[in-house]
Amino acid sequence: VTLHLNPISSVHIHQKPLVFLLNSPLPLVWRLKTERLAPGIQRVFFVSLGSVVQFEKGNFSLSAETEEKLFPEKNEHLLQWAQKKYGAVTSFTELKISRNIYIKVGE
């Protein structure tokens, strides 16, 4: 699955930390394609067991962390876990089948 990350239109370059929970019932390779995300900013990708994140060429991967995690089974529990751990969830998306996911990051 390719994850496309771009800032919202009102933000020229996104310069804030991000945390993603990438959950799947089967192990996946998550390919990241990014535009206009500032280098050197912490970005964390939690992936379900057996999954990996592949970064594009460049220095984005130097400031990104990937960690395998055993997530709660139900989406409601996953959302509660994320809210408890991080205090807020700004976006939640559930897809049955997809090759590309487009996410706008920003305020």
Tens digits of residue pLDDT in 70-96: 999 899 999 999 999 888 898 888 998
24 Cβ partners below 8 Å, 6+ apart?
1, 48, 51
For 14, the domain range is 2-105
Please give the tally of structural domains in the chain: 1
Tens digits of residue pLDDT in 50-70: 999 998 876 677 788 999 999
User: What share of the chain in percent tops pLDDT 70?
Assistant: 97
- Between vectors from CA 10 to CA 15 and to CA 14, what angle results, nearest 5°? 10
